[in-house]
Amino acid sequence: MTVIDLTRDGGPTGSERISLEANLSPKRRAADVAATIAMFLSFAVAAIPLALIIGYVFSKGGQVVDLKFLTEEIPNSYRRVGPGMGPAVVGTVIITAAASVMAIPLGILGAIYLNEYGKQNRLARTIRFMTDVMTGVPSVVMGVFIYVVWVLRFKAQTGFAGALALACLMLPIVIRATEEMLKLVPDELRLASLALGARRWRTTLTVVLPAALPGITSGAMLAVARAAGETAPIVLVTGLTFQTNWNLFEGNNTTLAAQIFRNASQPYEGAQLRAYGAAFTLILLVFACTIAARLISNRFATKR
């Protein structure tokens, strides 16, 4: 860019610039072009499968999803062709909602501790590190954990057990996202509030949190999107049902993700079509959360 400015200011003229470039040995020029092409291709290599997956699931699943599909009970035979993912839709919504109700407030409080109280002391650094480590704990391990401490104790696989497992998976994501947002709140706001005589808790709840709210919302929605698509813990701790179960604390439950897993490996067309339908519904749900999160954080970024 500076080269162009120089030309305008009467520096090297256009022809001189071209001659400079012509001095590049063919080998160096070829390496540069090849590298640029390779970088673009690597993006294509990732983007094309994404398009394939979305296109495939939408074309197969789009044709079976309608109101009837979303509300009717699941047929209890894989072979039967026809709709029904109602129980899984209900299960996904209530289990993910229960997990969010547990994980989001706890995660925000944890982040408040890290950023407003602990800051750089040893405990806060340990918690921060462990939060990062916990983000990497595989979801199936979280399922095993909830099975051991909850399902074995109460002798029942319930929707709530699934919600607990999802909450454990969401917690570290919410904490880290919230802390990043709290860090962006200028210290002057805190000082101004404290100088006006507000207590720390009041400053945090009425000044710092509202300032960071868009970012926190966006982080929380990403966590919700991730939790809604989790399969392994659900398969381990919530059991299976073919009827809608609105009760989180009693009886087995099921989710869209768990139903996709169960139906995907079946050789029967009815089951496979239901898997596609469930995948279509789940992708729409998850993408809606992801895109909403991005819109919110974009709006926030322009204000910053």
Partner 1 sequence: MTATSLPAPDAPEDLASSDNGATVDEAFRRTALGAGLAILAILGLIAWASISKAWPAFSDQGLDFLTLDRWAPSQNVFGALSMVYGTFVVSTIALIASVPVSVGIALFTMEVAHRRLRSSIVFIIDLLAAVPSVVYGLWGVLFVAPSVAPWYNSISDTVDGWPVLGSLFGGGGGSGRGFLTAGIILALMITPIITSVTREVFATVPQGEKDAALALGATRWEMIRGAVLPHSFGGMVGATMLGLGRAMGETIAVALTIGSSYQITSSLFASGAAMPSTIALEWGESSGLHRSALIGLGVVLFIATIAVNSAARLIVTRTERRMRGA
Please, which of residues 170-199 interact with partner 1 by CB under 8 A?
171-172, 175, 199
Pick one of 22, 67, 152, 195: the residue that binds partner 1 (CB under 8 A).
152
Task: Tell me the residue length of the chain.
Answer: 304
Choices 65-73, 211-219, 242-250, 255-263 (CB under 8 A): range interacting with partner 1 = 255-263
Asked whether the beta carbons of 227 and 96 are under 8 A apart, the reply is yes
- Binding letters toward partner 1, positions 217-246, x by CB under 8 A: --------xx-xxxxx--xx----------
Q: Provide the minimum distance between the beta carbon of 149 and partner 1 in the complex, in angstroms, as a whole number.
A: 5
Only one of the segments 38-46, 185-193, 212-220, 241-249 lies at the binding site for partner 1 (rule: CB under 8 A); that segment is: 38-46
Return d(Cα 198, Cα 217) in angstroms, integer. 25
CA–CA separation, 229 and 282 (whole Å)? 7
| Residues of this chain, 264-303, that bind partner 1 according to CB under 8 A | 264-265, 272, 275-276, 279, 282-283, 286-287, 289-290, 294
Residue 90 vs 223, nearer CB to partner 1: 223
CA 28 to chain centre: 42
- Helical packing angle, 256-264 and 269-303, nearest 10°: 140
Q: Which of 131, 193, 217, 245 binds partner 1 (CB under 8 A)?
A: 131
Instruction: Give 225's DSSP letter.
Output: H
Between 119 and 246, name the residue whose CB sits nearer to partner 1.
119
The single-letter DSSP state of residue 82 is: S
- Find the part of the chain contacting partner 1 (CB under 8 A) among 5-13, 79-87, 143-151, 245-253: 143-151
Pick the piece of the chain touching partner 1 (CB under 8 A) from 52-60, 182-190, 211-219, 246-254. Answer: 52-60
User: Both tokens of residue 42?
Assistant: 């690597």
DSSP H or E run through 79: none
Taking CB under 8 A as the rule, does residue 260 contact partner 1? Answer: yes
149 binds partner 1 (CB under 8 A): yes
Provide, rounded to whole angstroms, the least separation between the CB of residue 54 and partner 1.
8
Q: What is the largest CA-CA distance in the chain?
A: 83
What's the distance, Cα to Cα, between the start and end of the chain in Å?
Answer: 27
Binding positions for partner 1, 99-118, rule CB under 8 A: 106-107, 109-110, 112-114, 116-118
Residues in 62-91 that interact with partner 1 by CB under 8 A: none
CB of 248 to partner 1, least distance (A): 20
Using the rule CB under 8 A, give the single segment among 23-31, 77-85, 210-218, 245-253 that binds partner 1.
23-31
Q: With 0-12 CB in 10 A as exposed, 13-18 as middle and 19+ as buried, what is 25?
A: exposed
Size of the residue set binding partner 1 (CB under 8 A): 91
Closest CA to 217 of 298, 297, 286: 297
